[in-house]
Amino acid sequence: MIEIRTADMAKIGLVLELSSEFGLNVGIGSECCVHKLPSPGEVAEIASQVDDLAVVTPITPQKHYDRVLDFIRGLPHGVRLVVNDVGVLYSLERDGMLDGFSAVVAGRGIVHTSEACPWVDHLLRDESEEVKDAFLQTNLNYSRTLGFFRDMGVTALETDLELRTVEAALRTGLPVAGHAEFIAVSYARSCHTARFFGEVPPACRERCNGPMELELVDMFDLSGSPPGFAQPSPEMLGIFPKLYLLGATIFMKKDVHDVQGMERVIINGDMYDPANLRGVVMAFDEGMG
Amino acid sequence: MGSQKKMNLMAPAESTATAVNVIEAGADEIYLGLETPGLVNLNLSGRGRSCNAKDQAELVDIVTYAHDRGVLVDYTVNTPFMADTLEEMYIEHVMRGVDAGVDALIVGEFGALALVQEMDLGIPIHASVLLNNFNRGQLEMLKGMGVAKVVLPFKITIDEIRQLSGLGIELELFGQFGCSNINGTCHLIHNADESISLGLPCRANYRVSEDGRLHNILDAGTDCSLCSIGDLMDAGVSALKVVGRCMNPEMIRTIIQTYRNAIDMVLDGAVPGEIKAWVLEEIPFWMMLCDQDRCKYLKTPINDSYI
């Protein structure tokens, strides 16, 4: 099963078209930015057109806390709710607001994997195999953490489509959705895209409908006096990937297409040129058999 | 301004020498970790090897030295990652600190929090910055779990702090230095005993595809809160914390002395302009932070870009 996701309502026509053509599920909303949430009217309209709609809610600073809870309270019955903020999840569960969703999914703001670190194998280089195995899991593989989130109503999880991560995530027994190709390396509150364009959120909200690519040129060397820019070593360049910035989220790309055992694959439509999106969907559609 | 509240100054340490250094400089509390037997480069104290007390005997010495001077010791057991196979190691790690007499545990993972709670150790538990303690729901939840104090995220506004105070849980905040990204979700990991120098990836220069510019696009680092100490006290922050495990000892001593003096100045009624004038007079390198607009709680381009 494939879910195609966007936070850009200008793309929703294309997303719905692909959904109809390939039988895809649809996701809307944002993991990290409240300003990229659709309006209640947009949610209702899209929900009326698809069988399985996922609505993604972001990491939520206090400033936006009541707004996000109000947004969730207003969601149509039967949508799949993806939560990326533990405080929001707690409030929903405590106040009995999780009934009526087809699934309550812990998103990547909650589910962490060491494989999202570009140089995880370097960090683990000297550790024992047992320690490596322990770290190369998701945080929900720790039974107490899994119990903690199950008790808060979580019925499924999302994580990055990385081989060792997915293999581990499947061991939780929860249905697993994997984010294809773009691994979430980091989320920010101080929006890097807004700052780059010299705009103040939410005025910047149309600036992140597609990613920017970032190639490391100068490292910031802490050993200098004073610390400052320096040439990265060949070793650093060897482990430092090209990064992709979409709004306040930093990604790296991984070419993993093994989707065995997963409930669904999530394709973030905002990471691709709309002209290529059909091809991306077709490639995963073939992989899903 | 003119708050009557007390605000503890909290300093990093990683050895007896650094603990003595920051306590002499005026810290009210210190925080530190301990090396973890069984791990090589990684550590259950949330930092890489060599940024922690080397063994329990050294930790005991540090606790004794601190307590003799009325200084509290917070013990970092804030690994952001736990596994069933690490649980026994983690329990031993926690107990080495408890047996050494530490005053609080800083925990950075929800399952670990549940475990420590179950251990019923009789000392306060603090929720690490790694738990992303952003909103009222999270603080209410943590309070219900018995957490005494939360470390607030690096990116938070004074208005938000005000809204979070009064929930019956103490607020601790990083006043000096810190991350560009949301700490508990950032995998651009450094200072984890890597053998390849990575520097600070978020402060690096990148070629940006948008326009080909060379730009430190990921740099949202904010470094200083001296001019906001009074507002932070008024907002309900009970401890102001300085980042710096493994930092140059002279630098960290200067920073702790600076914050010690600034807090005392505020308690004596000084206004932000007086503090800034004092620090620029006494510590010329501070001008670099002012020039770069790296204020944590004043209006700057970085803070304007908060979602």
pTM for the complete prediction? 0.96
Cis ω for the linkage preceding A226 (within 30 of 0)? yes
Beta bridge partner(s), residue A124: none
DSSP conformation class of B224: B
List all residues of chain A from 111 to 130 with a beta carbon under 8 Å from chain B: 112, 114, 116-120, 122-128, 130
- The answer to whether residue A192 neighbours chain B at the CB level (below 8 Å) is yes
**What whole-number distance in Å separates Cα of residue A35 and Cα of residue B3?**
35
Q: Could you tell me which of B185, B125, B116 has the C-alpha nearest to residue B153?
A: B185
pLDDT in the model for residue A85 = 98
Residue B258 has pLDDT above 90, yes or no: yes
pLDDT in the model for residue B244 = 84
pLDDT in the model for residue A289 = 63
Q: Which residue of B has its CA nearest to A200?
A: B305
**What whole-number distance in Å separates Cα of residue B226 and Cα of residue B278?**
11
Nearest-neighbour CA in chain A from B283: distance (Å)? 15
Q: Tokens 């503090």: give the residue.
A: B275
Closest partner residue to B194 among A119, A148, A198, by Cβ?
A: A119
**The three-state (H, E, C) secondary structure of B116-152, written as one string:** HHHHCCCCCEEECHHHCCCCHHHHHHHHHCCCCEEEC
Phi, psi of B290 (to 5 degrees): -65, -45
A59–B189 CB contact, under 8 Å: no
Residue B218 has pLDDT above 60, yes or no: yes
pLDDT tens sequence across A248-265: 999 999 999 888 899 999
Cβ contact B134:A59 at 8 Å: yes
pLDDT in the model for residue B48 = 75
Percent residues over pLDDT 90 in chain A:
94
Q: What is the mean pLDDT of residues B189-214?
A: 92
* B38: three-class secondary structure by DSSP: coil
pLDDT in the model for residue B299 = 94
pLDDT in the model for residue A193 = 98
pLDDT in the model for residue B1 = 42
pLDDT band at A10 (very low <50, low <70, confident <90, very high): very high
ipTM score for this prediction: 0.95
pLDDT in the model for residue B3 = 43
Q: What is the mean pLDDT of residues B194-221?
A: 95
Sequence letter at residue B66: A
**What whole-number distance in Å separates Cα of residue B74 and Cα of residue B59?**
11
Give the contacts of A85 (CB within 8 A, at least 6 positions apart).
A57, A58, A59, A60, A68, A109, A110, B132, B134, B135, B137, B138
pLDDT tens sequence across B81-94: 999 999 999 999 99
- The answer to whether residue A77 neighbours chain B at the CB level (below 8 Å) is no
Instruction: Kindly report which listed range (B140-154, B199-213, B234-248) carries the lowest average pLDDT score.
Output: B234-248
Distance of CA A184 to the CA centre of its chain: 6
**What whole-number distance in Å separates Cα of residue B137 and Cα of residue A93?**
11
Query: What does the mean pLDDT of chain B come to?
Result: 94
Closest partner residue to B83 among A60, A137, A212, by Cβ?
A: A137
Residue B246 has pLDDT above 90, yes or no: no
**What whole-number distance in Å separates Cα of residue A48 and Cα of residue A38?**
15
Query: What does the mean pLDDT of chain A come to?
Result: 96
Beta strands in chain B (DSSP E): 8-12, 29-32, 72-77, 104-107, 125-127, 149-151, 170-176, 205-208, 214-215, 237-242
- Tell me the two tokens of residue A156: 């499924």
Residue B2 has pLDDT above 60, yes or no: no
Residue A210 has pLDDT above 60, yes or no: yes
List all residues of chain A from 78 to 97 with a beta carbon under 8 Å from chain B: 85-91, 94
pLDDT band at B288 (very low <50, low <70, confident <90, very high): confident
Q: Which residue of B has its CA nearest to A91?
A: B137
Residue A227 has pLDDT above 90, yes or no: no
pLDDT in the model for residue A106 = 98
B181–A187 CB contact, under 8 Å: yes
A135–B301 CB contact, under 8 Å: no
pLDDT in the model for residue A285 = 87
Q: What is the mean pLDDT of residues B36-48?
A: 90
Give the contacts of A243 (CB within 8 A, at least 6 positions apart).
A185, A213, A214, A216, A250, A251, A252, B206, B218
Which residues of chain A have a CB within 8 Å of the CB of B137?
65, 85-91
Q: What is the mean pLDDT of residues A266-277?
A: 97
**What whole-number distance in Å separates Cα of residue B128 and Cα of residue B140?**
15
- Tell me the two tokens of residue A214: 């970032």
Sequence letter at residue B72: L
Q: What is the mean pLDDT of residues A213-239?
A: 93
Q: What is the mean pLDDT of residues B254-267?
A: 96
Sequence letter at residue A79: V
Residue A236 has pLDDT above 80, yes or no: yes
Residue A287 has pLDDT above 80, yes or no: no
Which residues of chain A have a CB within 8 Å of the CB of B110?
86, 139, 144-145, 148-149
**What whole-number distance in Å separates Cα of residue A220 and Cα of residue A230?**
6
Nearest-neighbour CA in chain A from B99: distance (Å)? 24
pLDDT tens sequence across B292-307: 999 999 999 999 999 9
